[in-house]
Amino acid sequence: MTMHQPAMDQPAMLRPLVGHLSNRYGLSAALLVAPPIIALYALTIPRGTWPYILVLHATITATILLLSRGVRRAKLRITADGIKETGFFGRPVFTPRTDIASTVVVSVTDGNSPTAYKQLFVLDALERTRIRLRGQFWGEDAIEAVVHAFDVPTLRVSEPTTMADLRGTYGDKLYWHERHPIWRAMLMGVAVTVICGPVFWFIGTLTAH
pLDDT tens for the chain, residues 1 to 209: 555 555 556 788 998 887 655 555 556 666 777 787 888 888 888 888 788 888 888 887 888 788 778 778 889 999 999 999 998 777 899 999 999 999 999 998 876 667 888 999 999 999 999 999 988 888 899 999 999 999 999 999 888 888 888 888 877 888 777 777 777 678 777 777 776 666 666 666 655 55
Q: What is the pLDDT of residue 125?
A: 93
Tell me if 77 sits within 8 A of 69, measured CB to CB. Answer: no
- Please name which of 26, 31, 6, 18 lies closest in space to residue 134, comparing C-alpha atoms: 18
- Please name which of 130, 143, 103, 149 lies closest in space to residue 5, comparing C-alpha atoms: 149
Q: Does domain 12-16+74-174 have CATH number 3.90.1520?
A: no
